[in-house]
Structure 1
Amino acid sequence: MSSSSMAFQSGATSSSSSPSIHPWNHDVFLSFRGEDVRRNFISHLYQALLQRGINTYIDNNLERGEEISLALFKTIEGSMISIIVFSKNYAESRWCLDELLKILDCKETMKQIVLPIFYDVDPSDVRHQKGIFGKSFDKLGDKLKDNAKMLKWKVALQRVADLSGFPLAKFRDESTFIQEIIQWVDIRIVNQTPFSVACHPVGIESRIRDIYDQHLNIEMNDIIRVVGIFGTGGIGKTTISNYIYNRISSQFEGSCFLKDVRETSKRKGGLLELQNRLLSKILGTKSNIDDEDRGINVIRHRLSSKRVLLILDDVDELVQIEKLAGDRDWFGSGSRILITTRDQHLLEVFEVDSKYKVKILDENEALRLFSLHAFKKDEPLEGYVELSKQVTKYAQGLPLALKVLGSDLKGQSIDEWKNALDKYRKIPNDDIQKVLLVSYEGLHATEKQIFLDIAFFFKGEPLANVMKIFDCCGFSPVHGIKRLIDKCLITIEEHYNKCVKMHELLQVMGREIVRLKSPEEPSKRSRLWFHEDIREVLEESTGPNKIEGIVLDLPKGEEEMISLHPEAFQHMKRLGIFINRNACFSCAPNYLSEKLRVLDWSRYPGESLPHNFQGKKLIFFSMHASLIKELGDGFKPKNLTTMTLYDCNFLEKIPDLSSISNLKKLSVMCCTRLVEVHDSVGSLENLSLLNFYGCSKLQILPRSLNLRSLLQLCFDGCSSLRYLPKIECKMECLRKLSLNGTAIEELPLSIANLVGLEVLSLSNCKNLLRLPNIVCNLLQHLEFFSIAGCSNLVNKMGNDGPSHLAIESTKMKEEISLCEEPLHELAPPTNSSNWSTTLQESNLQISCSHSESKFFPISSLFTMFNSSVSLKSLDLSKIGIVSLPTSIKEFVALIQLHLHYCEKLEEIIELPPNIRHVNVEGCKSLERFSEVSKILEFNRSHIRSLQRIYLSGCDKMHVNIWNDKVQNPLLWKGVYEYDATLFPENQIPEWLSYVHEFLKDNDDGRRRGAKEEWVIDIEGPHYLEEISGIVLYGVIFFTAKFFVHGGIDRAKITSNSSNYACYIPEGVHLINTNSDRPMENKPAYTIWVGYSNLQSFGVKVLDNLRVQFDLRHHSDGMVPFYKSCRAKVVYKNERRANKKRKLEEETTKLCMESETHAHERLNQSSECVE
């Protein structure tokens, strides 16, 4: 590890509130020859230093009788700056020269600053020991006659003379000379004084460590690195940079922290001021640059050979970087430049070497930081816990907000807290608002509009929908959204729908920006969100207004109906967005603005839209739980892309939509009176989604489908639908056709036109009688095909008789299942080889509760798949088989095998070679499972990939394990560092010798909370090279009420002699036997057994080992019963380990006996003396 890294680490382990710099006792130490300068120059210099407030030490302050040399050395070590005054007789003093050696040593080891003063001597004479100075040095040599010592002093004089110093000869008088020295010292002290940092640095250390380890690379002295630190305002960028500067600045030849670059550069001559400050700080001299371009050249010329640390704080424009650190060659090798900003894009343009986004505080960190400011404690006071959590939820991990709100609420009553919280949600705190507003003010006009629309209407909405709306508004959303992301004003959730996210405080800020435009008159604002303001506008209708958008979401308890004023919407000529989440209106509007782009109205109170509303600019139209019966003849939204009608139980018909040629998504769900869909819907060329889920009365569909862009077609739950329209063209884009639960009797032959189909789902189509032969060809391309629950389906597969089957698959997962009907032989189709090779990560599920065959009866099915290299999941659940056929081992790709609730299954002889998970839950007849026997004997050489077996409810499962022959049980040959096992309580091994019991026999026991310790101490020493591992064991009982709420999250093993720890996390259990169906009067139990090989300790000898179980229970406080825990250290050679233990015991016994005899003899001697 490099010295720089070591220095940082030492700081990291110290108190976070104190930077890792040397705690200097004095600012200046004066080294001089008293007889030359004490009564004149030194006395004047000393007084000048004191007058300037500089804490200065001279040797005449030493107390009489103190051993002066040692005390003086400590004083030198405790001084920030050493001033060495070389005079004519300085080199004649052995004392002075020893001081010089110590000072130079502190310069190297402690980064002490050294200033040589040449008082009436020439620096060259000091360097080469010539002239008067040389004569005094020779005089000491003749007297001392110690050549080795003289050589050390000579080298020291050469080194110190090479430093930049102050010769008196260059100054016109001594007074000016002293003033220059004072000014030089003053600058150094200021530069060495650390920045004030947060009084409660919660979460700072981990973020500093991330930056140091992953981005700075301090130990690499041959490169120059530029690192960007970015994040939203108030997240802690400057605080983190302060800590970094205090920690590592001493490792550079020069350092400078330029704060408030954004604010300073806005002032006249601001960049010049910053350039001068940079040069003065690093060079230690005043800089008077009067031109920015000249300043660039001066910085490059003066600093190109210096290893510097430069921090540019709060940068918001590229020109600021270009004028202060425009290129890497401005600085010497090993330099580090840190730039903090709210604008990620700026870092990308400047091409920094790496970027670090500052993370918000997690829940625990946030609560602790808030509590420290609100209560001066690490956690909230009693009675304030829930309110504190509400505050931290509101602040969402933003340190600035937590500090401000904590200080604001400090000392207030609970009622005052509640009132303040209500206020914060409407009107943000001024101190927080000022910081956050900076990012908004840096946006262009259209970017501000995008930000405000997201803050009001589109937070949490899918990015694609938001982009469409902004695009139609002419906002250039691609650029605008990117700018908001770069400015850390929004983020995009990385899920499949990529929703737009915004910090709640930024959302509150956006709302406040709009409110302040007209604090007293809501109708004069551009956007409304507060329900009382909206109610005022809709019920009173104060005349023409400026409202462009409304989002109405009534809080619980305030759902009183809105008495809509007849002219309310007529005065909203500019209304572009109207979203009603939950409010009920007294009547329907008689007018809607033609500027509407988004109309999302839950509980719409009318039977139709206003007769004169065409929706010319409408892009998104949605109605939920509304009374609407028809859309209206005048409704012609030619730009509409998305129409959603959900739970509109009075809607009976989808009208002619031929004029809406841009429609891409039509979703009509749970409209239980819908009967007919107009023919025009079958010809919408841009339609990508057509969904009629849950429309149980739907009967009449378009006569044909000609939807070339369609991706998904869903009729799930349309229980009255008896046919599928003819498919007129090759619909190459269609990937999913779902007809689950329909009354359809057969599929049209034109289904062959669905050439790109991946999912065909016909589950629970009870009336389905036949499938066209083309389905067999489709199976070659399908990734999911289901006819599960189709009880009337009869189809000839090959030459076999009728079969009742369902074949399902998803991409990378294919499922074949048989419905719960009498099972017949299933022969492969004629192209079975092609079929099997096209399956993608298959999941084969066969479910047939009435089969009575002893061996699995459809051997042809195994024949079909056993050569497949893709079948990965096999589900044979609820089958009446007695034994799994050995041919299962031919399924070489299989990783999951599900056999749960095969209640007649008695034995499992073989498993596939690459199996990972086996589930035999509820197989109450299972007695023999060969692989379990091998595992519990710790012989894993057969199937190394096996990770987990579920044995819950396998009451007859008995395995002869832990017997006398298995005294070396944990020679695991698996690939995992840790594994865990669960097995029945009656198989508890007796050799698990370290026990902690919580429940005794016939004892009701007690519940253990998650915060209580569940600990076992195992005495040492333990020699790691002889240990195979450690076995951990725990018993947990569950009542019917508590069984799903508890367990063991992980086990932690620590050694008293080291800081190392290893963990066995929850979820790596190899065998699970918890009974998850407890009877009312019979508790369930889980036996948890874990294993660790302890290799992560990285040491050879372990003293006392401690095992701690982390217990888990449900957040509602329900806790299971924890009975006992046990542990055992297992050795590679148990016999040798036993011998060693016995030897140690005998040695200990002999030592104790020897001590006893010694005490007895001592007592006897004492008695004799008496």
Structure 2
Amino acid sequence: MANPTSSSFAYQWTYDVFLSFRGEDTRTGFIGNLFNALRQKGIHTFMDDQELRKGEEITPSLSNAIQESRIAIVIFSENYASSTFCLQELVQIMECLNHKGKLVWPVFYKVDPSDVRHQKGSYAEALAKHETRISDKDKLKAWRSVFEAAANLSGWHFKEGRYEYEFIEKIIQEVSKRINRSPLYIANYPVGIESRVQKVKSLLDVKSNNAVHMVGIYGIGGIGKTTLACAVYNFIADQFEDLCFLANISKKSVEHDLVHLQETLLCDLVGEKHINLGNVRKGIPIIKSRLCKKKILLILDDVDKLMQLEVLAGGLDWFGSGSRIIITTRNRHLLHSHGVKRTYEVEGLNHEEALELFSWNAFRSKQVNPGYLYISKRVIQHSNGLPLSLEIIGSDLYGKTELEWKSALDTYERIPHEDIQKILKVSYDGLKEFEKEIFLDIACFFKGYTVSYVINMLYSGRGYAPDYAIQVLIDKCLIKIDQCYVKMHDLIKDMGREIVRLESPSKPGERSRLWLSKEILRVFKENKGSDKTEIIMLHLVKDKEVQWNVSALEKMENLKILVVENARFSRGPSALPKSLRVLKWCAYPESSLPADFDPKKLVILDLPTSSFTFNNQLNMKFKSLMELNLSGCKLLKEIPDMSGTPNLKKLYLDHCRNLVQVHDSVGFLDKLEFLTMDNCTSLKILPRDMNLTSLKLMYLSNCTSLASLPEILGKMKNMWELNWSGSGISCLPFSIGNLVVFLCAK
């Protein structure tokens, strides 16, 4: 079956480069050397090797090669214009430039570009000869037009006296740079995208290099703004020196602040990989000074605040001539406030497009099954042109009988058209109970995280593997996995969060999940928690002091996951629920956990940069604990007896600068896989013996006070990295040979 991704915005090129040239001028010299150099670099190049071309018409195979080549390099030599075949070839190449997004580079080989542009010298003579024997004035006009258009493109000029190999090397470098760019993922079935790409492309005016343009793409959630921006990016990317796609700005500006986004922008556009700007006011002039001479393409995706635009793309004068900035947002007024005059509102799919998109999802075909046509039109009516709704409902009905379709659509029709929340909830209602739990967890907390992180958190917090449920959610189009990250459309996320909100609309403390900082802080301060709450994740924008009731967690008898970041609590909790399985609390304010806390269910204990010291907990009795992170705990001086943590797999102690001693029991944790103690500058005493058969890596870099390694008992076959670079270790124990495979960094 045909797939709509074959359209030009997602064009799959057969050749990287097409060479257009006058054979008698350059075939055995420059062209031969250029072709050979391209081939040696693995660049798939088409070169017509026919010595004599008969007639003026281009053969179908040659025409296909032109259309299916990503880059056309046209070598304008002295006698190029004398060949009517070359002229016809050039016309078709320039037509592809306009319609297929092809990149065309002129090479002026021992001719002046102005001779080509204005048809002077040998080019004037050749065209004069053609005029004497060709009566088709339109054809002659077209030839003159394409000479001017091609000569105005950016290219190379080779003059006498230069080394050809150096000149060719520059071409090779530029070709490699362009073809190595990876296109962005668009959609499985990008129906209706191409016409919308053309509308945005007309606003961008990519052909003009005399100005900088900002274009805003706006519309409701789920209408396809980001999808359209990705398609436009793929279509025009080759026209720019450097590219940057900043995705999910509204989310990332909260999680990482705007300085991080400025640093990412500079990394992508000028290669500044380790820049540390410090603050946005410092970043603004740096971005402007580094980019004001570069022709770049910048996509700012999902902008929701004016400040984001002001610090990432403050003005047109920030960027070099020919640059284009594309902004996607739900807020049209935001674009107006920033002075963006060229805007495009993403249109819903028309009836034909909606029917095709639905058909691809419901039948895996462009055409609707005739027996389902009437009932399919019912779906189109209720989806009202929203691509996300068509995808979800179509996938949900795929493979079902007509009777099942009618039953499902009877349900859909009871949901008001304007209420997108309820339309999306139909897919949620079809999930099994444990699948619903995983979906709501992802919707409330884990969108945008890596799959491995989500699986680890849900497995640790829920107590069962979420892999199957995640695959069900993928199958039902509720989430997507893109480059190892869990993706979820904003409307689907909002749908899940609304389900949780409706558990108790006016009392947040009686909901199953809490993620909004204002609601969490209110519950903490007023001690309004309940046994309904299972997960709390508090992420404040900046390190903020929190006033709270230390007894706020006592009522939460079913709390399984508690995460606290960027918050300063003057006191820790007076009690923790026994149900707790994951505790991640950055800057935990106490030296120990509450005295009456029973940690038997705790799987992850993550207390970085905290005041934790094991005070009153010198003998750890955490039988379920698999991960312990105490990195950056400056008051921590010793790791006590850990024999009570038999299932521990990960122990992170990096940057504990006052840590002196690690208890001998750590050397016999037979499930331990990761042990890291980088930059523990006071560390002197490790376990005397080590028999960690599961250990995979051990980091001791910059442990300057550490003089020796433990004795290695038995064969540690799983070890693949041991790093003690910058430490005080001067000699290795004889038993180091028991490390069957290891990397020693010194």
Q: Which has the higher helix share?
A: 2
Larger RCO: 1 or 2 (CA < 8 Å, sep 6+)? 2
Question: Which category describes the TM-score, using the shorter chain as reference length?
Answer: 0.3 to 0.5
TM-score, structure 2 as length reference: 0.47
TM-score, structure 1 as length reference: 0.31
